[in-house]
Amino acid sequence: SSKAPGLFSVIQKLKGTTEQELQIVLLGLDNAGKTTLLRKLASEDVSTITPTQGFNIKSVASNGMKLNVWDIGGQRKIRTFWKKYLEDTDVLIYVIDSADKKRLEETGQELSDLIDEENLKGVPVLIFANKQDLVAAAPASEIAEGLNLHTYRDRQWQIQACSALSGEGVQVSVN
């Protein structure tokens, strides 16, 4: 199977740049797999993860590029604080549980609210359609349609199918 592009190459393409250091905010509903994704990027153990109460921050470096990633909890009561973290964001990574069809509308609403945020004007968005390892997972194309991504004309965006647990579609290609 062809390896999905690593996160770094996707981000370079989205930003159209190889800036040395990028601020990345990792958002999505609770249980979407944000922390698992972040730990996988940092090549850390993903077997014991509890819901994120506040936020995690990690720096991941590859190919002379450094990503400072803010992983912020997705429970409803925390989401009101999301906008506090959006200043100086270079790329928004939004994680979706592809198998949780009941919450597609909710996650889509949260994403479209984010897209309207002043601090995220023109900021590229990378959407991870996570949990593709689950039988019930909707394909990325279906999720893109459900989220009306085609209406986002003011910025670069990309949706990528992945499994944070296995690393498929997430793995940073280290040269």
Considering the entire predicted model, what is its pTM? 0.91
**103 in a structural domain:** yes
Residue 23 annotated to the active site: no
Q: Give the domain extent around 46.
A: 7-161
pLDDT at residue 46 in the model:
84
Q: Are 118 and 85 in contact (CB under 8 A)?
A: no
pLDDT at residue 175 in the model:
31
Tokens representing 167? 């690393």
pLDDT at residue 169 in the model:
86
Binding-site residue ranges for Mg(2+): 35, 52
**171 in a structural domain:** no
Residue 26 in this model has a pLDDT that exceeds 70: yes
**47 in a structural domain:** yes
| 51-89 residue pLDDT tens | 888 888 999 887 778 889 999 999 999 999 999 999 999
| 102-139 residue pLDDT tens | 999 999 999 999 999 999 999 999 999 999 999 999 99
CA 33, CA 74: separation in Å to the nearest integer? Answer: 10
From the candidates 12, 53, 75, 158, which is the catalytic residue?
75
**72 in a structural domain:** yes
Counting every residue written for the chain, the total comes to 175
Q: Which bin fits 131, alpha (ψ -120 to 50), beta or left (φ > 0)? A: left
- Domain count across the chain: 1
95's CB contacts (< 8 A; 6+ apart) are: 26, 27, 28, 32, 33, 34, 37, 127, 128, 130, 164
**pLDDT level of residue 172 (50, 70, 90 thresholds):** low
**73 in a structural domain:** yes
**172 in a structural domain:** no
CA 78, CA 126: separation in Å to the nearest integer? Answer: 21
**109 in a structural domain:** yes
| 35-52 residue pLDDT tens | 999 888 888 888 888 888
Question: Measured between alpha carbons, how far is residue 2 from residues 88, 118, 122, 173, 175 in Å?
Answer: 34, 38, 31, 13, 16
Binding-site residue ranges for GTP: 28-35, 74, 130-133
**85 in a structural domain:** yes
pLDDT at residue 5 in the model:
57
CATH of the domain at 88: 3.40.50.300
